[in-house]
Structure 1
């Protein structure tokens, strides 16, 4: 096996490992987000109620879609943690995809270059009649 093929295989393996790491991190972040949502819902159900707590008539918003539309400075406590978790949940896997593509292209470029040179040599031989 020539050196360019080894580079291509190493680059492919590294890209797969980067994608796997990004995917597993994304799964972990999503599970953390779900646990924060459940904690928010349990805090909402176990909150003290009474006539003197007029500000708690409206339920606590735990939906990440609604909370992500708010400005991050508006949320406090568990809601702020949910907003921060939503903002980082998808970014890690997207970054991993970009890095994996860059690594694959970097390690695959020698193989592509020598593949192109072999085709040019075949074309030259065909034109020369060899």
Structure 2
């Protein structure tokens, strides 16, 4: 096996590793969003229970927290959101941007093309040698 083929396989292996790392990080971000939503819902239930136990008069004092990532994302445009809701917004924004997947795809594609460069270069050199031999009239 030639060095250029070994280099190609090494680059493709690195590209697969880059894709796997990108997908693992994307999965981690999505899991973090789910965990933050669960934490927010637990805080909301605790807030409602505390409001009922203290005998709060207003209906608004027994409302739960908003934990929907899409809704929080829309509300975050108006201003910063504190606490667990802010964390949900930050994580959801990072997931929604898709930069992690784009970077993983881009890195894998560049590594794949980098691995092909020596093979293409030597292929073109052989064709150039054939053309120059044909022009000179030699074998």
- TMscore range, shorter length: 0.7 to 0.9
Match of 2:88 among 82, 91, 110: 82
> Structure 2 regions of 5+ residues with no counterpart?
none
Q: Whose helix fraction is larger, Structure 1's or Structure 2's?
A: 2
Under a length normalisation based on structure 1, what TM-score does the superposition of the two structures give?
0.81
Aligned residue number for residue 99 of structure 1:
107
> Structure 1 regions of 5+ residues with no counterpart?
none
Contact between 1:72 and 1:83, CA under 8 Å: does it hold in 2? no
- Tell me the CA shift for residue 121 of structure 1: 4.3
> Whole-Å Cα distance in 1 between the matches of residues 39 and 58 of structure 2?
21
Q: Which has the higher contact order (CA 8 A, sep 6+)?
A: 1
Instruction: Give the direction of change, closer, same or farther, for the CA distance of 1:2–1:66 in structure 2 (3 Å limit).
Output: same
Match of 1:51 among 36, 56, 74: 56
Match of 2:77 among 71, 77, 100: 71
Alignment coverage as a number of residue pairs: 130
Contact between 2:56 and 2:62, CA under 8 Å: does it hold in 1? no
Deviation above 6 Å: which 4+ runs of structure 1? none
